[in-house]
């Protein structure tokens, strides 16, 4: 429970939080500023922040700060609180589980909730083949383990990742990630046997899915050779790289080539998974059945949990004791995941993501029509983006993008940027947001664009 400062009333999180944008101080206000000053002294400078508030409560479609400002949330803590922050089912499950059992270590004495999450993931991920799962703490850890499993299964070492990829901040996943700043610069050396090939970026490469895939496959065959390749890892819709939706046929051609060559096809659905794209998993939108799927973020309504799920024969290739970690599949995180998965399956959240897609695309396309600095509007479900360019040249306009995001935040709307060129504003609201708040958030972004 959040304790409100004595001098003011700050509502608690959850569905009771007033669903309104309310900015009564400069952002940051004085209380947030105090905490941010302490952050600057106490927290390592490398841990940045993009929205200069200190959050005290959140729920529905708003985040409330220490000064009582209520900001419209179009970021979901980077696609995590997809069911909504403080979803009642999730809160109840966390409280009950915390009172019962917080930890035994699943590798010491197993418990049912971990098994139930694995069963749910085996059932929900694409494909009706026999599957198994293993649970971890973060998206990066899931990716690391997917690569370990693929290497053990194939007896091969090389891994292919794509341009614009993001897979995490640990050493292996930094190596898989395509962007130097801020993720990699100065942090090398990176792991060996990682190879990068071109992705499909229809707005910039103008290639068909088949042509982009043929190019990538040709690079793979020339640089590595299928016989040496353990896995290809790809985000079905690239997240940090710019919410890039591949051209039709790209993913399925890559997946087919992997199948033909005994290469493990890993879909990194850490950002795109769990109803975010208007399907339970984005792979489904492209008719692709991955061998392994990595998940995290939305899986547990805000609790740290991640997973690798996939073909039972591949998942079982690691020897007993070869996979794990002290906290992987923590009981409280698993209880939260079971509640969140219940919400994904039974509260119409996939349909809600589709409605949000409709609203966001309609508004953003109208904005793009009126303002040629929006070069592209794309995405699926509640994972939608606008790419900002110089209308004369099509060159990425990162300065405009950051100015618009900053202005929107100052006016009470949390928006996040992304993109290899830093020129994309991404909209990934919690699915619990109302249409009214979502529209108001877009009004604010539109005014921010006009003012810049």
Q: Which of 295, 359, 349, 377 is nearest to 80 (CA)?
A: 295
What residue number has its CB nearest to ligand PLZ? 139
Nearer to ligand PLZ, 29 or 239 (CB): 239
Residue closer to ligand PLZ, measured from CB, 143 or 445: 143
Minimum distance between the CB of residue 167 and ligand PLZ, rounded to whole angstroms? Answer: 5
Residue nearer to ligand PLZ on the CB measure, 235 or 411: 235
The single residue listed with the structure tokens 């990595």 is 294
Q: Kindly state the smallest distance separating residue 214's Cβ from ligand PLZ, in Å.
A: 25
Residue 144 contacts ligand PLZ per CB under 6 A: no
Closest C-alpha among 436, 438, 431 to residue 90: 431
| Positive/negative CA dihedral, 47, 52, 58, 64 | positive
Task: Evaluate whether 299 touches 116 at the Cβ level (below 8 Å).
Answer: no
Measured from the CB atom, the residue of 201 and 367 that comes closer to ligand PLZ is 201
3-state secondary structure of 408: helix
* Contact flags string 304-333 toward ligand PLZ, x per CB under 6 A: ------------------------------
- Binding to ligand PLZ, residues 211-240 (CB under 6 A): 235, 239-240
- Nearest approach in angstroms of CB 269 to ligand PLZ is 7
Nearer to ligand PLZ, 240 or 387 (CB): 240
User: Could you say whether residue 166 binds ligand PLZ (CB under 6 A)?
Assistant: yes
C-beta of residue 325 within 8 angstroms of C-beta of residue 361 = no
Pairing of strands 374-380, 306-311: unpaired
If phi > 0 it is left, if psi is from -120 to 50 it is alpha, else beta; for residue 166 that is beta
Which is closer to ligand PLZ, CB of 33 or CB of 125?
125
* Nearest-approach distance from CB 199 to ligand PLZ, in angstroms: 13
- Provide the minimum distance between the beta carbon of 226 and ligand PLZ in the complex, in angstroms, as a whole number: 25
State yes or no: residue 253 binds ligand PLZ (CB under 6 A). Answer: no
Minimum CB–partner distance for residue 250 and ligand PLZ (Å) = 17
Of 326, 321, 290, 320, the C-alpha closest to 308 is 290
Contact with ligand PLZ (CB under 6 A) among 23, 35, 78, 226? 78
Number of residues that bind ligand PLZ (CB under 6 A): 16
C-alpha pair distances (Å), 74 with each of 25, 26, 66, 77, 396: 20, 20, 19, 9, 22
Q: How far apart are CA 339 and CA 62, in angstroms?
A: 21
Q: Does 270 contact ligand PLZ by CB under 6 A?
A: yes
Q: In Å, how far are 64, 79, 191, 210, 343 from 82, measured between CA atoms?
A: 17, 6, 33, 33, 10
> In this chain, which of 254, 296, 350, 438 binds ligand PLZ, going by CB under 6 A?
296
Q: Does 167 bind ligand PLZ (CB under 6 A)?
A: yes
32 in contact with ligand PLZ (CB under 6 A): no
From CA 274, how far away is CA 276, in angstroms rounded? 6
Q: Which of 113, 271, 295, 432 binds ligand PLZ (CB under 6 A)?
A: 271
Distance CA 434, CA 393 (A): 37
Find out whether 122 and 132 touch, Cβ atoms under 8 Å.
Answer: yes
Query: Of 66-74, 136-144, 312-320, 384-392, which part binds ligand PLZ (CB under 6 A)?
Result: 136-144
Cβ proximity of 264 and 150 under 8 Å: yes
**67, 163, 268, 291: which one binds ligand PLZ (CB under 6 A):** 268
Q: How far apart are CA 77 and CA 74, in angstroms?
A: 9
Is residue 169 within the footprint of ligand PLZ (CB under 6 A)? yes
- Minimum distance between the CB of residue 223 and ligand PLZ, rounded to whole angstroms? 23
Question: Where along the sequence are the contacts to ligand PLZ (CB under 6 A)?
Answer: 78, 138-140, 143, 166-169, 235, 239-240, 268, 270-271, 296
């Amino acid at each position: 429970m959040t304790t409100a400062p004595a001098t003011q009333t700050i509502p608690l999180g959850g569905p009771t939080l007033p669903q309104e944008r309310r900015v009564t101080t400069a952002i940051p206000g004085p209380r947030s500023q105090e905490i941010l000053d302490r952050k600057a002294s106490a927290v390592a400078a490398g841990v940045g922040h993009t929205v200069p508030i200190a959050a005290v409560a959140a729920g529905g479609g708003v985040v409330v700060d220490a000064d009582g400002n209520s900001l419209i949330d179009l970021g979901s803590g980077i696609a995590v609180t997809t069911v909504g922050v403080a979803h009642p089912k999730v809160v109840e499950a966390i409280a009950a589980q915390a009172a019962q059992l917080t930890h035994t270590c699943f590798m010491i004495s197993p418990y049912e909730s971990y098994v139930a999450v694995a069963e749910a993931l085996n059932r929900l991920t694409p494909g009706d083949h026999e599957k198994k799962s293993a649970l971890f703490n973060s998206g990066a850890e899931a990716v690391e383990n997917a690569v370990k499993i693929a290497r053990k299964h194939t007896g091969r070492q090389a891994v292919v990742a794509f341009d614009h990829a993001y897979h995490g901040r640990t050493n292996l996943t930094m190596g898989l990630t395509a962007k130097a700043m801020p993720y990699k610069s100065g942090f090398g050396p990176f792991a060996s046997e990682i190879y990068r090939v071109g992705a499909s970026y229809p707005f910039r490469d103008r290639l068909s899915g088949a042509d982009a895939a043929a190019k990538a496959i040709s690079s793979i065959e020339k640089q590595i050779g299928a016989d040496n390749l353990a896995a290809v890892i790809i985000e079905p819709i690239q997240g940090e790289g710019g919410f890039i939706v591949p051209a039709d046929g790209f993913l399925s051609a890559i997946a087919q080539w992997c199948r033909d060559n005994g290469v493990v096809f890993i879909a990194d659905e850490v950002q795109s998974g769990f109803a975010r794209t208007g399907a339970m998993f984005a792979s489904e939108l492209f008719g692709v059945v991955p061998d392994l799927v990595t998940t995290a973020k939305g899986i547990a309504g805000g609790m740290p949990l991640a997973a690798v799920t996939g073909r039972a024969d591949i998942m079982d290739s690691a020897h007993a004791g070869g996979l794990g970690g002290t906290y992987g599949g923590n009981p409280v995180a698993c209880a939260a995941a079971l509640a969140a998965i219940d919400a994904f399956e039974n509260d119409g959240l996939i349909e809600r993501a589709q409605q949000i897609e409709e609203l966001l695309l309609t508004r953003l396309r109208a904005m793009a029509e009126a303002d040629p600095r929006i070069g592209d509007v794309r995405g699926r479900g509640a994972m939608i983006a606008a790419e900002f360019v110089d209308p004369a040249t099509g060159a990425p306009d990162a300065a405009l993008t950051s100015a618009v995001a900053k202005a929107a935040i100052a006016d009470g709307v949390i928006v996040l940027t992304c993109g290899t060129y830093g020129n994309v504003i991404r909209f990934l609201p919690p699915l619990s947001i109302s249409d009214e708040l979502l529209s108001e958030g877009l009004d604010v972004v539109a005014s921010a664009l006009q003012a810049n």
